[in-house]
A = this chain, B = another copy of it.
Amino acid sequence: MNTFTEENYLKAIYHLSTQSESVSTNQIAASLHTKAASVTDMLKKLADKELINYARYQGVTLSVKGEKVALSIVRKHRLWEYFLVEKLNFKWDEVHEVAEELEHISSYELVDRLDEFMGHPKFDPHGDPIPDKNGHFKAHELKPVSALLVNTVGIISGVREHSPAFLQHLEKIKLVIGKKIKVCDINSYDHSITLLLEDELLYISRDVANNLLITI
C-alpha cells in the first residue's frame, strides 16, 4: 500500500491543513524534522500517486484519496493512545511515541476490533476526536482558557500543546480532562490567571492558559 514514510507525510500535511488552507514545503519539513529538498522529492511521489494536489512552488493540499489515508492514520493513532491509557495504564504523556509506531500497523480488521473492544471511544486521552471507520468525527467546540472572561466557567476538554513536559505539568496541578474550572482573576500585567478548581485556587501562566482548551 503506502510506505511508513508516505503515511507520515500525509498525516503531517493533514495536521498542517487544519491551520492553513494550503501547506508549504518548509512547514512540512519543520514538522517532520527533515529538509525542504527531501520534502519536494516526496511531494512529487505523492502527487504521482494522486494523494495530494501539488503544483511546483504553489504549496500542497490533500486529495480526497489522500485525506482518507491521513484520517485512517489519525484514527489508528488515537485509538491506540486510548488503548494504552485505558487498558494498559500508561499516563497521557507517555503514549504519543508508541502510538507513532502503532499507527502504521496495516490491518484494518485489527483497528476495528480494537475500537469495538474499547466500546467505540469518541475522544483520545488528550481530548482529540477519534474518526470512525469512515473518517467521520465530531470535534468539540474548544476555546483556550486564556479566551475566558472573569467569572465564567468551562470544562477542561483538550490541549493545544502535546509535549510530555506540558502534559506532566497539567497532571501535577490536577488540571486534567473532565475537570470543571472557573476563572476568578486575570492579571492585567502578565495575563496569568487564577482559577477555581474543586474549591481550590490555582494560578496558571498565560502560556498554560493558551494551551489548555475548554468547552463551555
Contact = CB atoms under 8 A, between A and B. Distances in A.
Contacts of A110: 84, 88, 98
Contact of A113 (B89, B102, B105, B109): B89
A97 B107 CA distance: 9
Nearest to A117: B88
Contacts of A117: 87-88
Interface string A87-103: 11110001001100110
B113 A88 contact: yes
Interface string A7-44: 00000000000000000000000000000000000000
A contact face: mostly helix, strand, loop, or mixed: helix
A119 to B, nearest CB: 13
Contacts of A98: 105, 107, 109-110
A87 B13 CA distance: 34
A97 B110 CA distance: 11
Interface in A31-90: 84, 87-90
Contacts of A197: none
A102 B98 CA distance: 12
A202 interface: no
Nearest to A110: B98
A114 interface: yes
A179 B88 CA distance: 32
Nearest to A88: B113
A88 B84 CA distance: 15
B101 A105 contact: yes
The 7 A-B pairs of least Cβ separation, nearest first, read A88-B113, A98-B107, A101-B105, A98-B110, A88-B117, A102-B105, A87-B117
